[in-house]
Amino acid sequence: MSLIQWNPFREIDRDMFKFMENLPYGFSGRSISPRVDVYETDDKIVVKAEIPGVSKEDLNIYVNENSIRLSGQTKRESDFKDENAYHSERYYGSFSRTIPLPVEVKSEAANASYKDGILSITLPKAEPAKNRGRKIDIQ
């Protein structure tokens, strides 16, 4: 059995990451990103993202075989003025998040729906690729 040297900063980093991830939207550097659930069934990957207060016209979804990128913008109402605000906690501005997928998907067959602030994306799984490697004879 080997001993692992105690490093207090490792625990602080882990705790700080958990704290940041549990904030509304979570943090990823300077911008915010929506919280997501990603799960798979026998034939598809499902991504569900919390994006309250954003119209579907302000959402963008880009998908390829290995990842999905969600981006958009939260806008203030036109009658909201900073000088008249008593309290303001909501985030306004752009957001973006890239989510790696656990398996390859058929990006051309993906579909999405948006209801009650939840964006649901369904991605059919791609057929497993044949082994692309080959045996090389030794000379």
Is residue 26 scored above 80 in pLDDT? no
Q: What is the mean pLDDT of residues 125-130?
A: 77
Give the contacts of 114 (CB within 8 A, at least 6 positions apart): 51, 56, 59, 120
| pLDDT score of 14 | 63
**Residue ranges of domains in the chain, CATH in brackets:** 35-124 (2.60.40.790)
Residue 31's nearest CA partner among 71, 78, 87 is 71
Please give the distance of CA 67 from its chain centroid, rounded to a whole number: 9
Q: What is the mean pLDDT of residues 112-131?
A: 87
pLDDT in tens, 42-84: 999 999 999 988 888 999 999 998 899 999 988 877 777 777 7
Q: CA-CA distances (angstroms) from residue 55 to 4, 33, 44, 114?
A: 50, 16, 26, 9
| pLDDT score of 24 | 53
Q: What is the mean pLDDT of residues 114-125?
A: 94
